[in-house]
Amino acid sequence: MRSSIRGAGAAAAATALVVVVSGSWFGYQQLAGPSCSGEIQLSVAVAPELEPAVRSAADGWQQDGAAVGGTCIKVNVAASESVDVAAAVASKHGATLAGVGQASGTAITPDVWVPDSSTWLLRLKNGGATAFAPANGASIARSPVVVAMPEPVASRFGWPDKKLTWTDLLRSVTSDKPVRAGIVEPTQDAAGLSGLLSLTAAAGGAGGDTQKATTGALRALAIGRSSLRKDLLARFPRANDATAIANGLGAAALSEKDVMAYNATKPPIPLAALYLEPSPMPLDYPYAVLPGIEPAKASAARVLYELLTTQGFKNRLAAQSLRAPDGNWGDGFKALPGAPSPAGGQATVPPAGVGAAGGLDPVAIDRAVSGWSIATQSGRMLCVIDVSGSMKAPVPSANNATREQVTVAAASRGLNLFDDSWSIGLWTFSTNLRGSQDWVQLVPINPLSTNRSRLEQGLSGIRPSQGNTGLYDTMLAAYETVQENWEPGRVNSVVLFTDGKNDDKDGLSQAELIRRLKQLADPERPVQVVIIGIGNEVSKAELKSITDVTGGAPFVTEDPTKIGDIFLKAIALRPNAPR
């Protein structure tokens, strides 16, 4: 949880009308009513570091007689970790967020949500919340994402005078004598995600083996990852001596606000903030009015937003070591050495990186989150690939490579992300591949430390058959195989690729398969099933009937060239404990 400094709001009531007049005539009319009756409660969940500023503005409005259309408004502002609200919203809208986990039983969704980053809104939309369309979404504050380093370590990099890049950092964390890098779990922390995106982009642009460079960067960060920000901060050196500095954390992606708050505690070794180029995605604090609220609340939310766009609110942000949305700052903001904005914040600063939801790249975010989840976790998986005759169909968007070739290529690329702690096996299936049996085991499930080369060879030898799609018999056999040698402490899963419906007339019916899976399902020995459907002949309803029993999810795409990203995303959706 980010630490924050509560600014005094003593002058809020006296200045409320002034700041609203500087905002808009509509806001003034709403605030200037002489009386009101009844009460509407507007719930506002705000990232903890921003909460004091929003609460102060809301209190000032209420002290001055907050009303909309003659009805009194009570604004309930709560400091809420963005990941916790995201879990609740995901649960309400049927979305799945990799690495976030389930919402707690007491979690509720607010009327207005101000998370620390627009990435949360985008991840929810891409995670399956198709009806999730919050209003507004404009940024009300900003904090650049920086690389925090103990000042003695930063000095070796030329701080604060030398301009550094993410490629410079990549070299330092993957060298023979690497800087000890850390990160707050990027699936749960927006600053961590921003740093991950920048570092993986640097790896992708470094030339050579991009996959190897990216995986190396992920694993370097994974060694020093923390679930909580306070735990990560506690790993920075706490004594001003060479041993403590050498053994402590040397670099981590944090917000500018985090560095300021840490240094305000007067640690033995202050942190330097390195503003690396290209500028990473900042924390942009979008003002999201969640869908489904009643019109009177929506009107109150609009007026509250106006209060949060004034010069008075800009000064409240400065008291919390936060910037205005344009990157400038209000009165009292104390910039860190090397900060790129002009002193006093009078000139407009171009937005650093991408700071609004419309400018974010959903594919890049999905790849980063999925790649991280795979590279930093361990599991046991049986990969099952369809080799029915229809897999010979050419894919025009892949230079007419067959569906089989595109599928195998995606599985091969994914294999490179799994480290040696994973256990993976490989089957193919069609109909009557071995006598009346629809499936063939190419490689048994074993640790990649001894199995990797066999899997690579097995994948390279896969060719389509002349058979049909024996989906149901194969699924039951795969489920039984994974469950038989189930391993505690790991996600045990089946990942199956197919381009068609079950058409094995001599095999199990759908009803029989579901009945058998229900008999086998054991909450003490769960097996997650992920089915990736390719092409327009797949029935998502058929696949969902299976995963509804087993846990997991179906993913269907008519464009086989997208299965690489879908594969990574599917593997990343691993079950998590409730928050």
Residue environment code for 254-279, b if the CB has 16+ CB neighbours within 10 A, otherwise e: bbbbbbbbbbeeebebbbbbbbbbeb
pLDDT digits (tens, 9 = 90+) for 182-196: 999 999 999 999 999
| pLDDT > 70: percent of the chain | 88
Question: Given this chain, do its domains 145-274 and 377-572 carry the same CATH topology?
Answer: no
For 414-450, the pLDDT digits (tens) are 888 788 889 999 999 999 999 999 999 999 999 999 9
Query: What DSSP string describes 8-77?
Result: P-TTHHHHHHHHHHHH-HHHHHHH--S--EEEEEEEEEE-TTTHHHHHHHHHHHHHT--EETTEEEEEEE
Is residue 543 over pLDDT 50?
A: yes
Q: What CATH topology corresponds to 377-572?
A: Rossmann fold (3.40.50)
Q: Among positive and negative, which fits the CA dihedral 123, 127, 128, 129? A: negative
pLDDT reported for residue 571: 72
- Gap between the Cα atoms of 530 and 143, Å rounded: 38
- What pLDDT, on the 0 to 100 scale, is given for residue 107? 67
Average pLDDT for residues 336-350, to the nearest whole number? 57
Say what the pLDDT of residue 357 is: 44
Decide which of 400 and 5 is more confident: 400
Tell whether the model's pLDDT for residue 504 goes beyond 50.
yes
pLDDT in the model for residue 67: 87
pLDDT of residue 81: 94
Three-point CA angle 329, 333, 338, nearest 5°:
85
Is pLDDT of 344 > 50? no
Residue with more model confidence, 170 or 355: 170
- What angle, 0 to 180 degrees and rounded to 10, lies between the N-to-C axes of helices 119-126 and 82-93? 20
Helices (H), 386-447: 403-415
Q: Greater confidence, 128 or 386? A: 386
Q: Is the pLDDT of residue 318 over 80?
A: yes
Q: What is the structure's pLDDT at 252?
A: 96
The string of pLDDT tens digits covering residues 226-280 is 989 999 999 999 998 888 998 999 999 999 999 999 999 999 999 999 999 999 9
Measured CA to CA in angstroms, residue 526 lies from 247, 482, 486 at distances of 40, 10, 8
Residues 181, 148: contact at Cβ < 8 Å?
Answer: no
Please give the pLDDT value at position 4: 38
Where are the strands (E) in 151-268, listed by range? 181-184, 225-226, 251-255
- Three-state SS sequence of 451-518: HHHHHHHHHHCCCCCCCCCCHHHHHHHHHHHHHHCCCCCCEEEEEEEECCCCCCCCCCCHHHHHHHHH
- The residues that bridge with 528 in the sheet, in sequence order, are 493
Query: For a pLDDT cut of 90, what percent of the chain falls above it?
Result: 60
pLDDT at 208: 62
pLDDT at 354 over 60: no
Q: Is the pLDDT of residue 348 over 80?
A: no
Residue 346 has pLDDT above 60, yes or no: no
pLDDT band at 215 (very low <50, low <70, confident <90, very high): confident
Q: Is 6 a residue whose pLDDT tops 90?
A: no
Does 339 score more than 50 pLDDT? Answer: yes
pLDDT at 120 over 70: yes
The mean of the pLDDT values for the chain is 85
For strands 251-255 and 112-114, give the pairing.
Answer: unpaired
* Beta-carbon contacts of residue 30 (< 8 Å; ≥ 6 apart): 67, 68, 299, 303
Domain boundaries, the chain: 12-141+286-345, 145-274, 377-572
CATH architecture, range 145-274: 3-Layer(aba) Sandwich (3.40)
Q: Which CATH class is domain 12-141+286-345?
A: alpha beta
Indicate the pLDDT class of residue 13, thresholds 50, 70 and 90: very low
